[in-house]
Amino acid sequence: MRAKIFITSAMLACPLSVTTPAAHASAMELVCDSGKRVSVWGNQQTDPAIDLRWGGQVYRLLRIATSTGAHRFEDGNSGLVWISIPSKGMLLDAKRGEPVANECKARGAGSSGRPVR
């Protein structure tokens, strides 16, 4: 009899092979509600991880699989969760259980989500 082994953690299935923020050609600068700002390095559609600047610090967030088509990234240490759909993004604090930045959109790019250089 053969046993099947399944990996249920998305973090185990996500190899970390992303470069540091300085190595990326440009960051996507986003302006959120109340004028809050977020910077994102990496391709949110394909990379297993992104780097996100929030509150003067840069965090590495790992991709978490979703069934909705949204792109979800988490940093277990800080509790930050970034959720991105084509028209906007949202930053959550999972430890406090509340959003910290909502309606984040690319500056000068409308809803296209193209990087600002």
For residues 13 and 95, give the distance between their C-alpha atoms in angstroms, rounded to a whole number: 23
Which class is 25-106 in CATH?
Answer: mainly beta
Residue for token pair 């909502």: 102
Least Cα distance to 40 among 64, 55, 56, 59 occurs for 59
Is residue 76 left, alpha or beta, with left meaning phi > 0 and alpha meaning psi from -120 to 50? alpha
Judged against a pLDDT cut of 60, whether residue 115 lies above it is answered with: no
| pTM to 2 decimal places | 0.72
Domain boundaries, the chain: 25-106
pLDDT at 26: 72
pLDDT in tens, 71-81: 999 999 999 99
